[in-house]
Amino acid sequence: MSEKLTLETPQPSSQSVYSFDPTPEPVDNSSWMTRYCELIYNDADDFWEPPISLKGLADIANANAYHGSLLKARANYVAGRFISGGNLPMFKMNNACWDYFGLGMAGFVKIRNYLKQVIALEPLPMVHMRKRKNGDFAQLLPEFQQKTFKAKDVIFIPQYDPQQQVYGLPDYLGSIQSSLLNRDATLFRRRYYLNGAHMGFIFYATDPNLSEEDEEVLKKKIASSKGVGNFRSMFVNIPNGKEKGIQLIPVGDIATKDEFERIKNITAQDIFVGHRFPAGMGGMIPQPGATTPDPIKVSQVYDRYEVIPVCKRIMDAVNSDQEIPKNMHLHFDLERDSNAE
């Protein structure tokens, strides 16, 4: 869309500077990242506040094409070795595994019969679970309601955090900033196209025929053009104005260079490293000049040192509970070659 702006009152005006840059996006490194020095106990709601926003972790899983996909892949690798136990179907084990990797912890609640015997396990939605001082768990419900689970009824499986042992902590936290940068680079690129390839610029005016009223009109027009999809072309007419009295000076154009590709590639590498996901797996495209390792050998090593230990961790947590009868013990295939048919 274009607009015609006619300036019909040529009068000398004083020198002025008007900035129309968008408000800088703050990078807050403390608002939602971990605060290890202490955990805050919410006395009003009677639970420990997690060291990191669980809702934030769940949201960031959808930040880019890599992070959420790797979380799902890691959950699939572990759940794919699940054989039986706990009266758990495969998809519920998969859900629990996603919580373990995505949120740093998983939990199962014991389902009992009328004799108080455990007859099944059910994964808990860990995003909404909070732990109390007495060991009980509270599930946060709509309208500030809570559902309480007694400590003896919950099998809690956290990833280890050496600085607090109330909640688990996911192992990929070091790559979160790269996940966000990867997302921001994609959004920046989308805005670039949606806005007709317009970027930041300096609107430079030296024409003495530009009156204060005309300058104010220009300011309003420029300010109103900001926003995704709202960039507009502008025609300026200054009767008797001087050549180059008004100039549009581009500041820079990162999107026309190779910065977008570099940012995407570097952050993707960081995300894979943060998940300890090896090259040759996960659809990662090798860098120019690099060779892709044998995926079969890579997968075998990855299973041995990453997948099987998590299977054992879940098995030990459930099977060591004295209330779980042997016929409900969890069983994972710890020997199968992951590439065997």
User: For the CA atoms of the chain, what is the radius of gyration?
Assistant: 29
Residue 96: both structure tokens together? 């629990």
Categorize the per-residue pLDDT at 297 as very low, low, confident or very high, splitting at 50, 70 and 90. Answer: confident
Collapsed DSSP state (helix, strand, coil) of residue 129 = strand
Residue 89 three-state SS? coil
Coil vs helix vs strand at 142: helix
The tally of CA atoms less than 13 A away on the side-chain side of residue 265 is 9
Work out the average pLDDT over 195-202: 56
Name the token pair of 213: 């009223």
Dist. CA 243–CA 258, nearest whole Å: 35
pLDDT digits (tens, 9 = 90+) for 10-42: 454 444 444 444 444 444 544 555 555 578 999
pLDDT tens track for 277-292:
887 776 666 666 667 7
Q: What is the mean pLDDT of residues 299-316?
A: 95
In tens, the pLDDT along 92-101 reads 999 999 999 9
DSSP 157-182: EEPP-TT-SSS---TTGGGHHHHHHH
pLDDT number for residue 283: 64
> Of 170, 189, 186, nearest to 178 (Cα)?
186
Name all domains of the chain by residue range, CATH numbers in brackets.
55-64+71-171+300-332 (3.40.140)
pTM reported for the whole predicted model: 0.75
* Single-letter residue type at 95: N
Residue that the structure tokens 């949606």 belong to: 194
Whether 245 shows a pLDDT value over 50: the answer reads yes
Q: Would you call 137 exposed, middle or buried from its count of C-beta atoms within 10 A (0-12, 13-18, 19+)?
A: buried
3-class secondary-structure state, position 224 = helix
Residues 6+ apart with CB under 8 A from 85: 318, 328, 329, 330, 331
Cβ–Cβ contacts within 10 Å for residue 109, how many?
A: 19
